[in-house]
């Protein structure tokens, strides 16, 4: 049995794009409540094609980054980025 929902029955547009993106990020960062996670993954994704696609794309990107980005960034790059962030915050 496949985990892919019936795409013909799914909404092709999401009325709550911003909220769904925020919930998606919370879930993927491990910061969503059990209720948020259950509702989004078990109910919303079954009926909303844009969110279904976004979720699977984000999971794939994160998995790719985990496997490909095993080396640490050079310290001078980290220092340079930190310096630029501090400069931008001071403005």
pLDDT per residue as tens digits for the range 21-55: 899 999 999 999 999 999 999 889 989 998 998 89
| pLDDT value at 11 more than 60 | yes
Asked if residue 24 is part of any domain, the answer here is yes
Asked if residue 62 is part of any domain, the answer here is yes
| pLDDT value at 58 more than 60 | yes
Enumerate long-range contacts of 56-60, CB under 8 Å, 24 or more apart: 58/24, 58/25, 58/28, 59/28
Task: Tell me which residue has tokens 């019936």.
Answer: 6
Asked if residue 27 is part of any domain, the answer here is yes
Asked if residue 38 is part of any domain, the answer here is yes
Residue 48's Cβ-side half-sphere holds a number of Cα atoms within 13 Å equal to: 19
Asked if residue 72 is part of any domain, the answer here is yes
Calpha distance 16→19 (Å, rounded): 5
Q: Please give the tally of structural domains in the chain.
A: 1
Asked if residue 1 is part of any domain, the answer here is no
* Residue-number span of the structural domain to which 45 is assigned: 7-90
Over residues 43-72, mean pLDDT: 84
**Which pTM does this prediction carry?**
0.63
């Amino acid at each position: 049995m496949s985990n892919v929902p019936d795409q013909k029955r799914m909404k092709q547009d999401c009325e709550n794009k911003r909220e769904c993106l925020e919930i998606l990020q919370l879930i993927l960062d491990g910061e969503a409540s059990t209720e948020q996670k259950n509702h989004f993954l078990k109910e919303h994704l079954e009926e909303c094609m844009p969110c279904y696609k976004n979720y699977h794309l984000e999971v794939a990107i994160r998995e790719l980054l985990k496997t490909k980005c095993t080396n640490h960034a050079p310290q001078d790059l980290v220092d340079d980025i930190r310096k630029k962030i501090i400069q931008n915050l001071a403005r």
